[in-house]
Structure 1
């Protein structure tokens, strides 16, 4: 598998992918503000159509994914307003490796892990 950064969002309450979730990738290295470097919206499989970082864009550093789940839930069947934005901070320490950061989502909580 090539070096890249990918994600997907699964809605455990609906037992399937979460379509239409806005995802923003920010780089957090340095003393300055977070730098937005990629954005996308999950498709009907809960994935982005393109990697957030391709092999040529991969760099070691600290990153943050922001998942806009508030809009997803307000427009969905649950109508939940508890979660708004889910931030996931992580470190890429080997720019030659594949990083996959899934989000498992429910109206009242979430979990994440380093996937494969």
Structure 2
């Protein structure tokens, strides 16, 4: 069973996105909810196994709390975990009007 983590960076400010609410979903079911730590990270103990998962980032409330507007109130990334995966790391680079994501190590 793979482990799963995420790291969110505020690319516009060049800093970790700490305090950002993140949900881990399978289908429409929220498996776990977390908040990014001071380094912008969340580490879940393990993913439920092979299959399609979604990671939902509550970017709208996070930007609003900082007095910043954003075009994307939610960023949701869908990924497929395969059998034999040991660790999956999902990185999100975030700015008010753009974002990018990739599978990290």
Length-normalised TM-score, structure 1: 0.83
- Name the structure 2 match of 1:31: none
1:82 Cα deviation from its structure 2 partner: 1.5
Q: Any conservation in 2 of the 1:39–1:52 contact (CA below 8 Å)? A: no
RMSD between aligned alpha carbons?
1.7
Secondary structure of the structure 1 residue equivalent to 2:23: strand
Distance 1:17 1:4 in 2: 21
Q: Contact (CA 8 Å) 1:6, 1:99: kept in 2 or not?
A: yes
C-alpha spacing 1:53/1:95, structure 2 compared with 1 (3 Å): farther
Q: Which has the higher strand share?
A: 2
Q: How many pairs were matched up?
A: 105
Poorly superposed stretches of 4+, deviation over 3 Å: none
Structure 2: segments with no counterpart, 5+ residues: none
SS at 2:12's partner residue?
coil
Matches within 5 A, 1:28-67: 28=27, 34-48=28-42, 51-54=43-46, 57-67=47-57
Give the alignment of 1:1-116 within 5 angstroms: 3-28=2-27, 34-48=28-42, 51-54=43-46, 57-77=47-67, 79-116=68-105
Once the two structures are TM-superposed, the CA of residue 97 in structure 1 deviates from its matched residue by 1.5
* Larger CA Rg, structure 1 vs 2: 1
Alpha-carbon distance, 1:3 to partner: 3.5
Contact 2:10-2:16 at 8 Å conserved across structures: yes
CA contact (8 A) 2:2 2:49 kept: no
